[in-house]
Structure 1
Amino acid sequence: MSEPPAARALPPELLASSEWQEACRRRDFACVFRLVKVKAGLYPSRIAALCGMTPSRVGEIMAGRRSLAHIDVIERVADGLRIPGAMLGLAHRPWEIPVLTHTRQLAPAKESKRTVPPAEGLDDLLALADGQVTHSTLIALRSSVEDYWRRDDQHGGAPLRPAVVGHLRYVSQLMRTTDTQLRHDLEALAAELARLAGWGYFDARQYSTARTYFTQALKLSHGRGDRLFMANVLSCMSLQATYDGNPTDALTLACKAQDTARASGDQPLVMSMLHMREAFAHATLRDAPSCHQAIGRSRETYERAQDQLSEAPSWVRYFDETKLIVDTGIALARLGDAQRAEPLIAEGLRREKVAQQRGRAFHAFWLATAQLQQGKLDHACHSARLALDLAATVDSPRVAGHVHEFHQRLEPYSREAPVIAFEQRMRETLGRPSRPHP
């Protein structure tokens, strides 16, 4: 297959327009292609050539008869039309990073017969500049990872992806140039950064890319023999499979995570969290007995964990009593037991810290869902407004997706006053509400 013809840069005024930025944010490629045609003078045949598509497919997308969902195709469109990656929720594209064209000057030929090959990219240059890795390097990198997780919790993981992926590449380069005992610590950092990158793409609902990074984290932790961290990564993959509509896979991954964690000795807090992941999968499969059993095991191991909290890995300490309560409620809501779910989720929401914006938004959505399941329309719309207000403060497509899903469930009540008020609030906060397709 021949290379597509080179793209010219899109007009700056187009990239700066609010209509363009909103279309990219929503990945509304029908609107994107129409704007490219009108504002940049690129007709469907040219767009097709640049993006590696057929003209008929481009025409169907522009007419709204087809959509783009696969990450590989979206990246091809970004590269073909020269759309900055951040506009589409992607990492920086290779063509956005300046190429160093004079690196051979680092070793002038007149002074020595030895030459230094040009650096392959920014990561290589940074590694050359840094030299040997020190304990200070590791401390700084660990501090960055901790800060990323705090920002993920408060503001969502989607906007962190370019920075996290950049850090992952940098640490991977350091691993290749370090022959000391610090390499083991760098491998642990790389595994954590790969998991964080996977989580960011998961939060952005780009599941195939998330799975790629989770797999990388799994391989890195396997290579180090860190079975507990492997269980951690498997638990993330289980949760993603639940969201991605694959509850059988989610159950398999949760059970495998439990087996992997058991091989590391007694870790009751880790097992409590993993039993809850299992409960989510059983609930999605509508297996009530198994779901209740998994919830019971999660509660029992959590109580046993209270005497061993100092021995639990740092990455699982978020799973406290509040999280146990609210996750129990969510599992019951997934199962359809809304009457028991509602007070648990409400209590968890009451206890949660204000700074945990994304978590509170999720839990407000699940509270609204449990209330709607019981026919409490006023209460449900009130809780959904809280989820909506919180969603406006975080950059998390998962949260926004939940809000839109809830709105679609309100379709049978579209003429009721609480729903009309909620839709008005939704228009003010997120833009025009989307109606379910007939």
Structure 2
Amino acid sequence: MSGSQPHRVLPAELLADPEWQEACRRRDFTRVFRLLKLKAGIHPSRIAALCDMTPSRVGEIMAGRRSLAHIDVIERVADGLRIPGAMLGLAHRPWEIPARDRVGDQAPVPSRIPEGGPGSALEPVESLDDLLALADGQVTRSTLTALHSSVEDYWRRDDQHGGAPLRPAVVGHLRYVTQLMRTADAALRRDLHSLAAELARLAGWAYFDARQYSTARTYFTQALHLSHGQDDRLFMANVLSCMSLQATYDGNPNDAVALACRAQDAARTAGDQPLVMSMLHMREAFAHAALRDASSCHQAIDRSRDAYDRARGREGEAPSWVRYFDENKLIVDAGIALARLGEASRAEPLIAEGLRREKAAQQRGRAFHAFWLASTQLQQGKLDAACHSAGLALDLTASIDSPRVAGHVQEFHRRLRPYACEAPVIAFEQRMREALG
């Protein structure tokens, strides 16, 4: 392959190299770029061109002075260099999906050969429309397994890096599954229907995290219709709980209460589901807190704790989508509800304990909870501690794309205005300029 030709495939020896595999697993792009030069002869200028970066940025990464954290940039590097998604902890990239007209001994279809000639037909198909055109309706169980795996990966990436950058991919998958539903066998159509409902909920959540509430509501409504068509009462409760949380954020707490209570009604019809009910009572507590209804909020928190106690030892019976709601989440969410009420002294130790227990990989949750900890400390006049906690939230936002979290940080900054001349605030503002520009 000459230097003037587009780079399409990495050498098999490099992909099998243990040092390369470890560098990719750790997302250590200093080592990745160095190994590309050393073992594949791909020089920094070529890396820059393939990954849509400046040569100076590539040089800084190779020197160890910069790193890559944003998921969209990491995906761009994977696509530009043709690094298999699994090596970097990503879902399969579009160019890794084999085109059906390249499998077996079928003769090429003339209309599918690009203008560049038969040789260029070997190039990976990358556009969504091309992928949809390749679908022939032959859905199998393995197709469903692969799609479910992609959804699980999206949720993991949402938890780690925020949902905003996932929107195009999730909506594309939703369109793809909707297309498959039209031609799939009746035996698989119900499963595809459920998968489409989950993708619609995920799309709604991604737009919610991006603070695009009207679009989020559209996708949540689509998910609700899809789950209603399946008479899946538990999943309907799940979607309604998301809509309740969004209504709380969107300044409609009365709607949030109504949606949370309706979700509880839907869940009750599905039998005894204490973990689901625990989460739904906490959603109700958030809504009552936004209304400053202390009595109703405390009662909802108590109901959430009681339901969680009944769920102990039965977590495996709960739907997979609610198992994130563990004891730590119960503790920190109770703290957030109390913080919304203005009961800062009771909220602070709960949120601090939840933040201490939280896994390092849950970066968006940690950033979100660090903000709430800072908020409760500021309410109590603990300016140094509040700015320190908010600094942790800032550090975490460097590797996530969540306008919802960024909005919380900016709201906290506005509340610091009366203390603008204090040394902790001056230092925090400098960190904020560096982190958020």
TM-score between the two structures when normalised by the length of structure 1: 0.71
- The Cα shift of 1:292 comes to 0.4
CA contact (8 A) 2:139 2:185 kept: no
Q: Following superposition of structure 1 onto structure 2, how do residues 226-375 of structure 1 map, counting pairs within 5 Å?
A: 226-375=232-381
CA distance in 1, matches of 2:133, 2:142: 15
Pick one of 132, 146, 151 that aligns with 1:145: 151
CA contact (8 A) 1:124 1:173 kept: no
Aligned to 1:198: 204
Distance 1:129 1:231, change over 3 A: closer
- The Cα shift of 1:309 comes to 1.1
| CA-atom RMSD in angstroms | 1.9
CA distance in 2, matches of 1:125, 1:214: 26
Deviation per CA, 1:54-95, whole angstroms, max 9, x where unpaired? xxxxxxxxxxxxxxxxxxxxxxxxxxxxxxxxxxxxxxxxxx
Consecutive unaligned residues of structure 1, counting only runs of 5 or more, are: 1-15, 19-102, 107-120, 432-438
- The Cα shift of 1:393 comes to 1.2
CA distance in 1, matches of 2:425, 2:110: 65
Say if 2:215 is the partner of 1:209. yes
CA distance in 2, matches of 1:179, 1:220: 18
Secondary structure in 1 matching 2:271 = coil
Distance 1:262 1:137, change over 3 A: same
Matched positions, count: 319
Letter in 2 for 1:328: A
CA distance in 2, matches of 1:221, 1:241: 20
CA contact (8 A) 2:174 2:196 kept: yes
Aligned to 1:223: 229
CA contact (8 A) 1:204 1:398 kept: yes
CA contact (8 A) 2:148 2:195 kept: yes
- The Cα shift of 1:253 comes to 0.4
- The Cα shift of 1:146 comes to 0.3
Letter in 2 for 1:319: F
- The Cα shift of 1:126 comes to 2.7
Identity of aligned residues (%): 82
CA contact (8 A) 1:171 1:186 kept: yes
CA contact (8 A) 1:275 1:297 kept: yes
Aligned to 1:37: none
Deviation per CA, 1:352-387, whole angstroms, max 9, x where unpaired? 000000000000000000000001111100000001
CA contact (8 A) 1:364 1:387 kept: yes
Distance 1:265 1:214, change over 3 A: same
CA distance in 1, matches of 2:140, 2:369: 42
Letter in 2 for 1:367: L
Consecutive unaligned residues of structure 2, counting only runs of 5 or more, are: 1-51, 55-108, 113-126
Aligned to 2:394: 388
CA contact (8 A) 1:127 1:170 kept: no
- The Cα shift of 1:231 comes to 0.2
TM-score between the two structures when normalised by the length of structure 2: 0.71
- The Cα shift of 1:128 comes to 4.8
Distance 1:171 1:378, change over 3 A: same
Say if 2:407 is the partner of 1:424. no
Aligned to 1:4: none
Secondary structure in 2 matching 1:205 = coil
Letter in 1 for 2:305: R
Deviation per CA, 1:302-350, whole angstroms, max 9, x where unpaired? 0000132111000000000000000000000000000000000000000
CA distance in 2, matches of 1:125, 1:346: 47
Distance 1:127 1:427, change over 3 A: same
- The Cα shift of 1:105 comes to 3.7
CA distance in 1, matches of 2:395, 2:352: 17
Secondary structure in 2 matching 1:307 = coil
Aligned to 2:66: none
Distance 1:417 1:317, change over 3 A: same
- The Cα shift of 1:406 comes to 0.2
Pick one of 362, 366, 377 that aligns with 2:383: 377
Secondary structure in 1 matching 2:361 = coil
Distance 1:333 1:125, change over 3 A: closer
CA distance in 1, matches of 2:133, 2:271: 38
CA distance in 2, matches of 1:140, 1:127: 19
CA distance in 1, matches of 2:155, 2:53: 32
CA distance in 2, matches of 1:327, 1:319: 10
Say if 2:182 is the partner of 1:180. no
- The Cα shift of 1:104 comes to 9.2
- The Cα shift of 1:180 comes to 2.3
CA distance in 1, matches of 2:131, 2:207: 27
CA distance in 2, matches of 1:255, 1:131: 40
CA contact (8 A) 1:349 1:364 kept: yes
Aligned to 1:154: 160
CA contact (8 A) 2:328 2:358 kept: yes
- The Cα shift of 1:125 comes to 5.9
- The Cα shift of 1:179 comes to 3.3
Aligned to 1:134: 140
